[in-house]
Chains A and B, each alone.
Chain A
Amino acid sequence: EAGVAQSPRYKIIEKRQSVAFWCNPISGHATLYWYQQILGQGPKLLIQFQNNGVVDDSQLPKDRFSAERLKGVDSTLKIQPAKLEDSAVYLCASSPHGAAAEAFFGQGTRLTVV
């Protein structure tokens, strides 16, 4: 079974530039998450999709971050404009429908804003 795919693996941009990350979840998984992990901290949920609908985006900085999940499968996360404090690893995860299901994570995209 293929895992969660993310691209790119690494990205370096200047502040005020824009950047986009892509995620392909495990086939058939209804729930998709984007997490932000700042160095030395645990992952923090940015947004959660159930199929193509947003379930929770309460911690997404909506003035600069946006995300969509096309046709309930792939997802993109965009930052525009980027700030220095956005430097982090962005993790995509997916899980099958069900409250007790564990989430499966991708390898992440390491973003450095300079």
Chain B
Amino acid sequence: DQQVKQNSPSLSVQEGRISILNCDYTNSMFDYFLWYKKYPAEGPTFLISISSIKDKNEDGRFTVFLNKSAKHLSLHIVPSQPGDSAVYFCAAKGVNDYKLSFGAGTTVTVRA
């Protein structure tokens, strides 16, 4: 039962443009959401997170938006850079729960 879904397996974007990655979830008990970035042959690294009490969190070029009523979140990368080419995983956890549920990932390719 996939509780976190990333329906776009890949995204190609021009350098300098915006990358928008989407994530949907089904479990209404999720209250904390994270994005991880993964390069080949490396483990995922934490990128940015958002609590369910917020609808936006910004960190430099990365902004995460949360729409609780739609059970949807998105990651915006502006401007996109070649080093952003990686697999991005959306993850979620429930109240007082340490367990992360991951989506299948979106592979981002930034074209020069």
Contact = CB atoms under 8 A, between A and B. Distances in A.
A93 B42 CA distance: 12
Contacts, number: 61
A91 B43 contact: yes
A3 B28 CA distance: 33
A99 B96 contact: yes
B90 to A, nearest CB: 8
Given A4-B43, A100-B51, A103-B46, A95 B98 contact: yes
Interface in B56-102: 89, 91, 93, 95-102
B109 interface: no
Contact of A103 (B4, B41, B97, B100): B100
Given A99-B32, A100-B51, A103-B46, A43 B102 contact: yes
Interface of B: 4, 6, 9, 32, 34, 36, 41-46, 49, 51, 89, 91, 93, 95-105
A43 B44 contact: yes
Contacts of B36: 105
A65 interface: no
A107 B45 CA distance: 10
A44 B101 CA distance: 7
Contacts of A107: 41-43
A104 B102 CA distance: 14
Contact of A106 (B43, B49, B102): B43
Interface of A: 4, 31, 33, 40-45, 48, 50, 55-56, 91, 93, 95, 99-108, 110
A45 B46 contact: no
Contacts of B100: 33, 43, 45, 103
A99 B101 CA distance: 14
A56 B94 CA distance: 14
Contact of B98 (A41, A91, A99, A104): A99
B94 to A, nearest CB: 9
B43 A48 contact: no
A42 B104 contact: yes
A68 B91 CA distance: 25
